[in-house]
Amino acid sequence: MEIKLKLQAVFQDESLILLPEMTAKDVDKWDSITHLIMISEVETVFNVTFKLKELIKLKNVGDLIDLLTEKKQLNE
């Protein structure tokens, strides 16, 4: 839930309903630079660091949430 709120803030759209299967094609403001901001925000807020090999496999919102969950579990 927290990550969805954070992504809504990045896309500046509180009404945006984020679904796991959503990709950049489905969100108007999800472009290259917003993507950069999104990754940085998620890393800062959740105190995790993503590797390049992990980032280039993220196909959709669900993949990002799964990767974040995995990272947080490793940090616990």
**CB 63, CB 57: distance < 8 Å:** yes
Nearer to another protein, 45 or 58 (CB): 58
**CB 48, CB 71: distance < 8 Å:** yes
Contact status: 12 vs another protein (CB under 8 A): no
Choose, by CB under 8 A, the member of 2, 12, 15, 51 that binds another protein: 51
Contact status: 33 vs another protein (CB under 8 A): yes
**Least distance to another protein from the beta carbon of 65, Å?**
16
Candidates 1-9, 14-22, 28-36, 66-74; binding stretch for another protein (CB under 8 A): 28-36
Report CA Rg, the chain: 12
Q: If we measure between CA atoms, which residue out of 74, 45, 43, 44 comes closest to residue 58?
A: 43
Contact set with another protein (CB under 8 A): 23-24, 31-37, 39-40, 51-53, 55-59
